[in-house]
Structure 1
Amino acid sequence: MDTLRPQFWTLPLTALTRAEWEALCDGCGQCCLHKLEDDDTGEILPTNVACKLLDTGTAQCKDYRNRKAYVPDCLRLTMRNVADQHWLPRTCAYRLRAEGDPLPSWHYLISGSRETVREAGISVIGRVICETEAGPLEHHLVDWPDAGDQQAFGDWEA
């Protein structure tokens, strides 16, 4: 079993072990939401519609290991492809580290608590609907906040 090195999250992504790479995820669930692309501008438009495998109460994949069998177009983030995934939220730990930025204070590796991602308003828990219940994605466009935008969620819920 891999052990996690102290402050491994400060290392370049290429220096991480597989276990460290997996532990870098803050568990927000935003990467498991459907997105639309504006045909005219190419802009990625986020929705509050979750993949059928995302547990909307925990923001965790219900079958992470076998997800590609159920969702063939599920993208596996790797050290090689993460820098090309511009649709990842600006708060994503993988994106932050790929761009050389530090993790935010609410990330569990910094705060010591898995709850701080939710307290900061970054987690999708309680704010999304499953794709099997949603209907047309166009009816579910949202403006997901970044860490400093905690008030943007306000009273908004799925």
Structure 2
Amino acid sequence: MPRDPFWRRKTLEQMTVAEWESLCDGCGLCCLVRFEDEETGEVIPTRVHCKLFDPDVCRCSDYANRKAHVPDCIKLTPHNIEALEWMPKSCAYRRLHEGRDLADWHPLISGDPESVHRAGISVRGQTISEAALADLEDALDFAAWDLVIERGDD
């Protein structure tokens, strides 16, 4: 009988750095520019990606040094997931924090890093770079409310 995978045996806090990093499904949703309405606290998602995001592979082009180039980039940790309510409902980090399992399309389940793209979860081919905008506020023209709903199978 095969052992349960690490994400079923360990809490998020017990995972090694490699295990934690492997939870990223490569959807790119957390690399999108968001705005927070100062009056309501509502987070407005957009289809504008961070200047370091590579839209072809749906990964940061300089992950190890991202904070040097994008100081407000948020490092996901087991301790801040709960506070990051804007994280997509499909995100593995959020799903596990909420006591749900990984979705069938997640690469750790499917064994295929392309499964997240085939399932329509990722933003591959659906975004523009913040570098293409004259002013970052212009990203509001690309508001994308559909990105906050659950994407893919539950």
- Please classify the TM superposition score into its range, dividing by the shorter chain length: 0.7 to 0.9
Displacement after TM superposition at 1:14 (Å) = 1.6
1:127 aligns with 126
Q: Which amino acid aligns with 1:26?
A: D
Q: Which amino acid aligns with 1:109?
A: L
- 1:146 and 1:119 map into 2 onto residues whose CA distance is 16
Determine whether 1:82 maps to 2:81.
yes
Q: Which amino acid aligns with 1:140?
A: F
TM-score, normalised by the number of residues in structure 1: 0.86
1:8 aligns with 6
Q: Which has the larger displacement, 133-142 or 121-130?
A: 133-142
Q: CA offsets, 1:85-132, max 9 Å, x none?
A: 111000000011111111111001111111111111111110100001
1:29 aligns with 28
- Work out the percentage of aligned pairs sharing the same amino acid: 50
List aligned pairs for 1:44-83, cutoff 5 A: 44-83=43-82
Displacement after TM superposition at 1:77 (Å) = 0.6
Q: Secondary structure at the match of 1:49?
A: strand
The question of whether the paired residues in 1 share the 8 Å contact of 2:120 and 2:152 is answered with: no
Displacement after TM superposition at 1:6 (Å) = 5.9
1:106 aligns with 105
1:155 aligns with none
Q: Secondary structure at the match of 2:35?
A: strand
Displacement after TM superposition at 1:82 (Å) = 1.4
Q: Which amino acid aligns with 1:123?
A: S
Aligned-residue Cα RMSD (Å) equals 1.6
The question of whether the paired residues in 2 share the 8 Å contact of 1:122 and 1:146 is answered with: no
Q: Which amino acid aligns with 2:140?
A: E
Structure 1 residues 148 and 122, CA gap change in structure 2 (3 angstroms): closer
- 1:6 and 1:57 map into 2 onto residues whose CA distance is 33
Unaligned runs of 5+ in 2: none
Dislocated runs of 4+, deviation >3 Å: none
Q: Which amino acid aligns with 2:142?
A: H
Q: Give the paired residue count.
A: 145
Displacement after TM superposition at 1:75 (Å) = 0.7
Q: Which amino acid aligns with 1:146?
A: E
2:142 aligns with 140
Displacement after TM superposition at 1:38 (Å) = 2.6
Q: Secondary structure at the match of 2:47?
A: strand
Q: Which amino acid aligns with 1:147?
A: R
